[in-house]
Amino acid sequence: MTSQYTTFPTLSDRQSGKADVTGMVPFLFWILFLANVVFALVNFPNIPEWRWGDLFRTNGFTLLLFTTVSFFSAIISTYAKSYFKERGQRSKFMVLCLAFTFAVLFFIISEHLLLLLLGWLLMGLVMSRLIGFHADWGEAKEAKKLSRNYFLVGSFLLGVGLLVPAAYHNSITLSAWTDAIGETPKYIMLLSTFCIITAALIQSAIFPFHKWLLSSMTAPTPASALMHAGFVNGSGIILTLLAPILIASNTLDVLLIIGGLTAIIAQFTKLIQVNVKQRLACSTIAQMGFMIMQCGLGFFSAAIAHLILHGFYKASLFLSSGEEVEKLHPKAPPSIRIKWYQGLIVLVFSLMGAYLFALLTGKGMAWDSGIFLTLIAAIAVGQMTYNLVKQNPLNGWQKIVLPPVLFISGIAVYALVYTTVTTFMNGMEVIAAPTSISPFQMAFGIVFLIGFFIMKLGSYRKIPWLYVRLLSLSQPAKKTFLSFKN
C-alpha cells in the first residue's frame, strides 16, 4: 500500500537548505507522551482533578485518554517522516496530525458543553482533511466531501442531544448536565438520547453509517492509522461521558443490539474482502460494534479498555499493511473442517478463559450483564490468539502448548488493562452499571453466538444471495472509487 501514496522529492525540496520545522512534531508528541506517563506514575492511583472554571477539567480519565492519543500520534508521525518523501506532503500531514491531536485533547478536557461540541466538530473537520489529503485526486475530494457531510450531521445531532436538555435545565457544564438528567421529562430525554446515540454511531461508522469509512481508503497510510486508532474511538468516549442519560432512558439494550449485529455482520464482510485496507476497515467496524455492545451491557470502562487495545492493534496493522500486499493468483477459500476433539478443546479453553477473566476482574460472577462481558472477552482474545497462531508454522509440542499459553496470557493482559482503566476512571459519573439479565438479552446472546460460529465455519459461502449482499454492503461510495482519470 505504501508505494501507492509516496512520491519522490521535488527539485525545490532537494535544493532548499531551510530546516523543516514540522519535523519537530514527532518530538513534541513524544515529550507530551512521556510527560503524561511520568505524571501518571507519580500520582497513580490517586490522579488529582483540576478545573478551570466552567471551561475545562482534567482527571484520571482525561489523563488516560491523552496519554494514549499522544502515544499514537508520536508513533504515527514518526512513521510519516520516512513515509512522505516530498517535503510539502510531509509538512501538510504533520500540521494536520498536530491539529487533530490537539482537537482530541480539547474535546476530552472540555467541561463547557459548547467547547465539547466544538472539539467534536474540529476532530471531524480535521479528519475529513486527512481523508482528502491528496487534493489532486478526484476520489479523494469525493471521500473528503462525503466524510465531512457525515461528521457535520453527527455534530449537529450531538448538539441537539446536549443543548436541548441544557436549555431545559439552564445548565451549560457537563457535570451540571449529567446531574440534572434524572429530572428531565421523558420526551426530552428520549430525543436527546436518540441524537447522542446516532452521533456516536456515525463517528464509529456503525451500520448503516459505515460508507464514509469504507470510502476513506484514499487517505495515506499514516492518516488511516490515525483514523482507525484514534478517531473512530470517539464514540466510546462520548457515550461514557454521557452514560447517565443512556441509563436513565433505558436505552442500553438498543446499544447492545446495534453493537452485536454490527460486530457479526462486519466480521462477515471482512472475510470476503481482497483489498488490505478494505479488510482492515471492516475489521474496525466490527471492533467498534464490540465496543458499542459493551456500552450496551453497562460496562463503560470495558468499552474504554477495548478502544485503547483496538487502537494499538489497528495502528500496528495499518503501519505494516504495505508488507502484506502481494500479487497472488485467486485461490479457492480454505476449507474449514473442525474435528470433534478440536471443537472440544476450543470449548474447554474458552470456558477456562472466561472463568479466568471473571476471576481477575470480578465481573461475570453474578447473574447480570457481566456474564456477556466475559463472553466478549473470551471471544476477542480467542480470536486474537487464533490469528497469531495461524500465521506461524507450529509443529509437535508447539501445537499443544503455545495456543493455550497465548490464550490465557491474552485474557490476563485484557483483565489487567480493564482493571487499570477502571482505576483511572475513578470519580467518573458512571464506570459500570451492569443490568440484570432479561429473556430478551439471553435470546440475543444466542443469536450472537450462532452468527459468530456461522462466520467462523464459513457457512455463509454456501449461501450465494447472502454472499452477494455482504459484498454489496461492504463497498465504498461510488464516486470515491475509480471514478476519475488522474
pLDDT in tens, 195-246: 999 999 999 999 889 999 999 888 898 999 999 888 888 999 999 999 999 9
d(CA 54, CA 438): 40
pLDDT recorded at residue 248: 93
Spans of the chain, pLDDT less than 70: 1-21, 321-350, 377, 380-400, 403, 456-460, 482-486
String of b and e for 284-314 (b: at least 16 CB within 10 Å)?
bbbbbbbbbbbbbbbbbbbbbbbbbbbbebb
Q: What DSSP state is assigned to residue 34?
A: H
Give the pLDDT confidence score for residue 69 in this predicted structure: 94
CA distance 344 to 299: 30
What whole-number distance in Å separates Cα of residue 92 and Cα of residue 223?
Answer: 11
pLDDT at 316: 84
The predicted structure's pLDDT at residue 388: 52
The residues, any chain, with a CB within 8 Å of residue 377's CB and separated by 6 or more, are: 353, 354, 357, 411, 414, 415
Give me the amino acid identity at 142. Answer: E
Render 52-76 in DSSP notation, one character per residue.
ETTTEEE-HHHHHHHHHHHHHHHHH
Q: How big, in percent rounded to 5, are the helix, strand and coil portions of the chain?
A: 75, 5, 25
pLDDT at 18: 41
Please state, as a whole number, how many other Cβ atoms lie within 10 Å of the Cβ of residue 144.
Answer: 26
How high is the pLDDT of residue 19? 46
Range list of β-strands (E), 122-188: none
Q: Is 463 left (phi over 0), alpha (psi -120 to 50) or beta?
A: beta
**What is the identity of the amino acid at 404?**
P
Buried b (16+ CB within 10 A) or exposed e, 109-136: bbbbbebbbbbbbbbbbbbbbbbbbbee
Q: CA-CA distance, 360 to 412, in Å (whole number)?
A: 8
Cell of 346: 476450543
pLDDT, residue 135, reads 84
SS3 314: helix
Q: What is the pLDDT of residue 264?
A: 86
